[in-house]
Amino acid sequence: MSPETLTTVISAIGIVLTLGTSMFGGLTWVIHRMDARIDGVEEKLTARIDGVEEKLTARIDAVAADVTDLKIAVARLEGPPRRLLMTAR
């Protein structure tokens, strides 16, 4: 092989290695940044979902208490259950 051909081949290999290394490094950096952003969004979303869950639980408990109070009030209005048959005394 002539020195010019050898120089060309080594230069081509060097360019391919340089481009490959820089692409790998850039992709690694992008993945690292995306992971950091996703983690931040995940934490915010988890906190928001927990807040909504607490509010919903409080509302459901309040409705359950209101329904129980309503049942008691209706039962007091209706009085004791009526009997269809009269028993002889």
Cα–Cα distance, 69 to 54 (Å, whole number): 23
Quote the pLDDT of residue 82. 67
pLDDT in tens, 43-71: 999 999 999 999 999 999 989 888 888 88
Q: Is the pTM of this model over 0.75?
A: no
pLDDT in tens, 7-47: 999 999 999 999 999 999 999 999 999 999 999 999 999 99
- For tokens 């081949």, the residue is 9
> In whole angstroms, how far apart are CA 36 and each of 23, 25, 47?
20, 17, 17
Quote the pLDDT of residue 73. 82
Half-sphere exposure of 21 (CA within 13 A, CB side): 6
Cα–Cα distance, 89 to 87 (Å, whole number): 6
